[in-house]
């Protein structure tokens, strides 16, 4: 039974990653007035994350660090990518590899800082006095 559940998790992950990839390459596929497929895919992947085996968790971590997500013009995608990155520190098998994860983030995040700044400014109102 456990193997069947594991197979279900792995196949669901593969379908969600494929949906995410397709929606990132064709954002016009979403209907006006509906939640974009990319947002839904990222939300579901975030829920699935604690159930993923280490190899799929690592692949998802790499995807979350990718320019496709972190440098997206869609602030909702950026927000979900950062939420996913934060959740990797809460997932049991990534907690053990914390130093490696932090090292990778230190390398990839500065590369995206210029393109993310605009989205962060749009997502948060200016609170300067």
List CB contacts of 26: < 8 A, sequence separation 6 or more: none
pTM over 0.95: no
> Are residues 69 and 63 in contact, defined by beta-carbon separation less than 8 angstroms?
yes
User: What's the average model confidence in pLDDT over 15-26?
Assistant: 92
Q: What backbone torsions phi and psi does residue 26 show, to the nearest 5 degrees?
A: -140, 70
pLDDT of residue 30: 65
Tell me the two tokens of residue 17.
């990653």
pLDDT of residue 22: 93
User: Which of 108, 103, 107 shows the shortest CA–CA distance to 70?
Assistant: 108
pLDDT of residue 122: 47
Task: Using the predicted structure, report yes or no on whether residue 44 has a pLDDT greater than 50.
Answer: yes
User: What's the average model confidence in pLDDT over 79-93?
Assistant: 81
Q: What is the CA radius of gyration of the chain?
A: 16
pLDDT of residue 87: 85
Helix (H, G, I), strand (E, B) or coil at 34: coil
Helix (H, G, I), strand (E, B) or coil at 89: coil
């Amino acid at each position: 039974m456990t193997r069947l559940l594991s197979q279900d998790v792995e196949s669901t992950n593969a379908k969600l990653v494929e949906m995410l990839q397709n929606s990132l390459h064709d954002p016009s596929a979403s209907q006006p007035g509906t939640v974009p497929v990319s947002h839904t895919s990222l939300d579901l992947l975030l829920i699935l994350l604690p159930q993923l085996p280490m190899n799929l968790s690592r692949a998802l971590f790499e995807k979350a660090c990718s320019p496709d997500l972190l440098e997206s013009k869609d602030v909702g995608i950026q927000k979900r990518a950062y939420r996913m990155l934060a959740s990797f520190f809460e997932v049991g098998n990534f907690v053990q590899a914390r130093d490696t994860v932090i090292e990778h983030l230190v390398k990839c995040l500065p590369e995206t800082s210029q393109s993310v700044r605009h989205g962060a400014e749009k997502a948060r109102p200016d609170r300067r006095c």
